[in-house]
Structure 1
Amino acid sequence: MKLHVVAAILLAVAASSSLPPAAAVTYEVSNEAASTAGGQRFDREYGAGYAKQVLAAASSFTWSIFSQPSAADRRPVDAVVLAVRDVDGIASTSGNTITLGAGYVAGVTGNDFKTQVTGVLYHEVVHVWQWGLQDYAAHSWVYEGIADFVRLRAGYVAAGWVQPGQGNSWEDSYSVTARFFDYCDSVKPGFVADLNAKLKDGYNVDYFVQITGKTVQQLWQDYKAKYGN
């Protein structure tokens, strides 16, 4: 297990120690693709038991990033569900249910199989807990950016992610937005926690000014300038 994986788990455990008992939320895993190569690999190399531990650790880590020590601060979710299914794509989340693609699992290469799958699950767990998903269709970039920001802070940077300062717009989503939010969080510590809380009422571009005192355009210009591009 790589050092950053250990560090993320330790951070999640530390965060959970100050949170209400984990019994308030249950974690469920089912393999609906057990007859496929990906489903069999999931059972053999990852396993439902380990997946439940990851879901719990990712939830605790997300609560810590979102500054949500109380269940009253969070979305009202009683169970986080993971289903391995024979579907296209890597993973998706609907409500409290995460679907992990068996084809993706079968195709993961390299010696860090568990790390790669865990990074995906951390991203998807954020979607279970983040506020404001009623605005996802119109502003998907902000929600995907927050999910990748949490993944970044947990130490699960994936191969192919952009480097800090790269990207054409703060709305490029995923790792571009995550890197930008990481910069915003350095300008105003707790930026992502504040942004997530405001998203409960839907997205508004004025949130950047309200949180940091600067417009999103100013922040993006400063971010690009910091890295010389």
Structure 2
Amino acid sequence: MFLFSRSSFCGISFLWLAAFGLLSGGVDGMAGDGGPMPSDGAARGPRDARWLKVTSPTVEYENDQSAGGRLFAQAVPDMTRYVHDIARRVGRMLYHDPAEVPAFERLTLRIFKFDGIAWKSGEPPHITVAVSTDYLLRYHEGGGDVAEEVRGILYHEMTHAYQHAEGMSSFAVEGIADVVRHRAGYIPNHFREPGGHWSDGYKTTAFFFAWIQEERGFDDFTYVLNQSAHPKNRGFWSWEDTITNATCHSVHTLWDEYQSWLSERP
């Protein structure tokens, strides 16, 4: 049996997704965070055990031990436990059921000097994520909270490790990664501002997606958006079709509503 939020009845594509088994649910299939995971990592029932199995990659950790590398190590004293905690929360934001989660078995986490902030490469079963030690050092010297920034970065990059992206605009891919980071509490609302375009990616797109889910009431939006880029879709993806099928409203209409909503905020 499929359980959908009201958003899931919009558009024929959801019948198509269900026919291909890309939408799942049930009495314990939940949207959003999908319910709490045991904080101690212990499986407390068959369903928890299944979630633990698919969100517990082996972690290979490389740190250049530079000043920025030492800041990372201070922020993350227990690497495997830290990564698994984030992986489990990301998994339950993106998926309803453990059976849907890609077979991501091994993570190589590299902490070293390079231009930029962070990147992800590879596909399941082996993913590599890198974080720049230069960036962490600059962030620290600017007075930033490195521990909080590291956690936010890893929420973003671990979303890339688990999400679907077949045919999806790269700006939407980045928007999903940042909406997960936001929903986890690591992009505060004070970063939200009017203007831009829904396809700008990162925070601009993420806050738009979050508004659709949280303010417009389409509770399954992140889940459905992720499923729209499932490999079985064979790359047939567009902003207009995806947003319309998820909400019964065009992306243009929703963006205009969102901008009006922002302008009314204090």
Question: Which moves more between the two structures, 53-62 or 189-198?
Answer: 53-62
Q: CA deviation at 1:112?
A: 2.5
2:85 aligned residue (57, 74, 80): 57
Partner SS for 1:76:
coil
Q: Which residue matches 1:215?
A: 250
TM-score, structure 2 as length reference? 0.71
Q: Which residue matches 1:105?
A: 136
Q: Which residue matches 2:113?
A: 86
Q: Quick one: which amino acid aligns to residue 172 of structure 1?
A: D
Is the radius of gyration larger for structure 1 or structure 2? 2
1:135 aligned residue (164, 167, 172): 167
1:199 aligned residue (223, 229, 235): 229
Q: Which residue matches 1:154?
A: 184
Q: Alpha-carbon deviations, 1:17-72, whole Å to 9, x = none?
A: 644152453241422412x22223323x12452x32232122111121113321x3
Cα distance, 1:54–1:167 mapped onto 2, change above 3 Å: farther
Q: CA deviation at 1:126?
A: 0.2
2:206 aligned residue (156, 175, 178): 178
1:116 aligns with 2:145: no
Whether contact under 8 Å (2:95, 2:101) holds in the other structure is no
Point out where structure 1 has 5 or more consecutive residues left out of the alignment: 1-7
Whether contact under 8 Å (1:122, 1:151) holds in the other structure is yes
1:166 aligns with 2:162: no
Give the Cα separation in 1 of the matches to 2:173 and 2:37.
21
Point out where structure 2 has 5 or more consecutive residues left out of the alignment: 1-32
Question: In proportion to residue count, which structure has more helix?
Answer: 1
Percent identity, aligned pairs only, is 25
TM-score, structure 1 as length reference? 0.82
Cα distance, 1:90–1:111 mapped onto 2, change above 3 Å: closer
Q: Alpha-carbon deviations, 1:58-108, whole Å to 9, x = none?
A: 2111121113321x3022211233111222111000121101111112222
Question: Which moves more between the two structures, 99-108 or 19-28?
Answer: 19-28
Partner SS for 1:227:
helix
